[in-house]
Structure 1
Amino acid sequence: MVVIGIESLIQNEYFLFVLILISSLILAKVVHFILAIYLKAFAIRTKTDIDDIILKIITKPLCIFIVFAGFYFALKSLSVLEKYSTMINGMFFVGTVLLLALMVSRIFGVLIGQWLRVQKKYEKMPKLMGNVVAVVIYLMAFLMILDHFEIEITPLFAAFGLGGLVVALALQNTLSNLFAGLHIISDQPINVGDYIEIEGGISGYVEDIGWRSTRVRTLPNTLVIVPNAKLAESIIVNNSLPVLEMAAVVQCGVAYGSDLEKVERVTIDVAKHVQETVPGAIKTFEPFIRYHTFGDSNINFSVILRVEEPVAKYVVMHEFIKALKERYDKEGIEISWPVRKIYYAK
């Protein structure tokens, strides 16, 4: 009697429905345990971190797929849903393709990011490149779904063409920012991490180049959002290219009665001390001065120092001006304020 009861229970389609669901949940839990414990421990021992990231990417979608497949087969076991079989098959296909597209796009994003880090030319390529790859993958998934449901693509493209024209006119500014962002990436006037100056007095580090805008973090730690189209049309000073090192030029002037040889000697002595002691200055650089202008009250000259990175110039110039003023006072070198001599005719 017990055996007959078990056999009748197994043959019961609703019991089978629940059994398949529970089995898929248990299988998903087992797979998650294996991936999260055993394979993760193996991946940690490898030299590269790519396998760790890929394992983390596929673990959750794979478990979701197992539960989703279990739910699909459980529904297929119910005779009452047999007339909806085509719709259930279509839903399963769509879900499978979307989950696969999700995993593939994320894996490609990791591989592309790793490749960009190896290539020095593209070392600081922003997220936009990964987003473009993801869009291409999802577009391919969309076309696969259309092909599965035997939807004719040619008329759809014609409709999209007309609709796309309307959308392009409506989203003209958005699209111009998008293509400007792609142009910035391909031409590479700036990269993420560069210290730039833009027309209008905006300066700071490039945080990200997105679909619509570029984010610049200023020295006071505020974020400036610049539309890509505006950035592409602006005059940009990239202080990080071709190298981070740059000159720090300080303008100065001394009175006309000064001994210029002494001024040059004292100024270079102060500049050398600053180059060797102030953090951010290039310690091996030999500073120099160049006289260039007979001003209204002073003979003007430039002092050329050198710093390791753009933001270091502010500290170096600050310390140099303080040290130079103190040394000039000791040496009796005068920096004149504006003076006018007026002669009266007899």
Structure 2
Amino acid sequence: MSELLTGAWLDSLTTDPYLRLGAIVAGAVVLALLARLVLVPLLRRLARRTSSDIDDQLVDLLGPAIFRTVILQGVNVAVSDFVLDPRVDRIVVAITVTLMVLIWGQVFLRGGNLFFGRLSENADRTNWIQPQTLPLVRFVLKVLLFAVMSYLIMSAWRINLTSWLASAGVVGIAVGFAAKDTLANFFSGVFILADAPYRVGQYIIIDGDTRGVVTEIGMRSTRLLTRDNVEVTVPNAVIGNAKIVNESSGPSQHMRVRVDVSVAYGSDVDRVREVLGACTVGLENGADDQPGVVRFSAMGASGLDFQVLVWVKHPVYRGRLIDELNTRVYKALAAAGIEIPFPQRDLHIRSWPAGEQGLSRPDA
């Protein structure tokens, strides 16, 4: 654009510095108006052809930014052509570049917030961004933009970045040692967000101990709400090194639970299977579209071992379903006359010491 504003046409038009200054500023205003009246409507017309409205909002952000950028660039060119003092020229260039960096930094920030906010509204299509993790994503965006904008502004003012980077390195090491736990939680939260082992609203078990529904994934910690209505806050660094069982990550909310049942030796296996199968029908918290299964799993030390496997509607009802199923199984076996054995051991005595006080031989 500099050649367009200060080309041969301007030299042939006038050599008066003030007229040249006015011509350059006027040319910049004309170009800015053309961008607003021609380019922006063209972009808006193209954006209307899509089904999404996010591109329309992005065009609304670009319009004022393009207009102001052209004006600032025109001022920059005009001052460079008019002012002979290089120090004044450097200051004006630094000011205009700083303003343009701030303008476009705001555009990228608002556009990024708009884009990620729209992604969070379609959380079922994206694994790495959810409504509750949106603040973390926006925070990372702000940090990155701040770093890039700071670098560009310092470069425009010709500030020596070497000493700043060295100082930042020393400060970073000190802060890293002082806040290593906080940083570990933060980066673990970023990795959890990227890997998406769980989402807000899902039931998870951490290290086989803590179980609950995820209510929030924050920058420092993840919050779970247990069945006792107790909120548990787990640092992200702990979760990053823990074994996580996600009970809600399947294609549906259904999950299968298992109840172990043992009956006495000599019981009719087919009859036991029939009685246990009837217990799986019509459960209050069971999934009606997925029938239960009865398996003869082993011949144990004290009895015949069976497994009753049923599907629960939602992991939150797991405890209720197990209670209902155990109650049904106990009553059904008792009504059918099928014995539930106690743990037992057979003791075989090979010899009996003679003359023991208070004891007699079994065959005496």
- Which category of TM-score, normalised to the shorter sequence, fits these structures? 0.5 to 0.7
How far apart are the structure 2 equivalents of 1:203 and 1:163?
40
Equivalent residue in structure 2 for 1:207, among 204, 209, 215 = 215
How far apart are the structure 2 equivalents of 1:124 and 1:150?
39
1:220 counterpart residue number: 228
Alignment-mate amino acid for residue 331 of structure 2:
E
Whether 1:273 aligns to 2:282 is yes
How far apart are the structure 2 equivalents of 1:287 and 1:97?
64
Whether 1:229 aligns to 2:237 is yes
Who wins on radius of gyration, i.e. which is larger?
A: 2
Q: For 1:177-221, what per-residue CA distance to the aligned partner results, in whole angstroms no more than 9, with x for missing partners?
A: 222222222222222222111116101112222222222222212
How far apart are the structure 1 equivalents of 2:223 and 2:110?
24
Q: How big is the shift at 1:118? A: 5.5
State the percentage of identical aligned residues: 29
- On the 8 A contact 1:287/1:304 being kept in 2, the answer is yes
Decide which structure has greater helix share.
1
3-state secondary structure, aligned to 2:126: helix
Q: How big is the shift at 1:119? A: 5.7
1:179 counterpart residue number: 187
3-state secondary structure, aligned to 1:221: coil
> In the comparison of the two structures, how many residue pairs are matched?
268
Q: How big is the shift at 1:148? A: 6.3
The correspondence of residues 84-99 of structure 1 with structure 2, limited to 5 A, is: none
Whether 1:291 aligns to 2:296 is yes
Alignment-mate amino acid for residue 294 of structure 1:
M
1:20 counterpart residue number: none
TM-score by length of structure 1 reads 0.64
2:315 counterpart residue number: 310
The correspondence of residues 156-175 of structure 1 with structure 2, limited to 5 A, is: 156-175=164-183
- On the 8 A contact 2:128/2:195 being kept in 1, the answer is no
Q: How big is the shift at 1:111? A: 2.4
Q: How big is the shift at 1:224? A: 1.5
How far apart are the structure 2 equivalents of 1:205 and 1:49?
34
Alignment-mate amino acid for residue 115 of structure 1:
L
2:7 counterpart residue number: none
Equivalent residue in structure 2 for 1:320, among 320, 325, 333 = 325
Assess, with a 3 A threshold, how the Cα gap between structure 1 residues 99 and 222 changes in structure 2: closer, same or farther: farther
Cα root mean square deviation, aligned: 3.8
Assess, with a 3 A threshold, how the Cα gap between structure 1 residues 147 and 123 changes in structure 2: closer, same or farther: closer
Equivalent residue in structure 1 for 2:144, among 132, 136, 140 = 136
- On the 8 A contact 1:124/1:192 being kept in 2, the answer is no
Q: How big is the shift at 1:325? A: 2.0
Alignment-mate amino acid for residue 112 of structure 2:
F
How far apart are the structure 2 equivalents of 1:227 and 1:136?
24
Q: How big is the shift at 1:341? A: 4.5
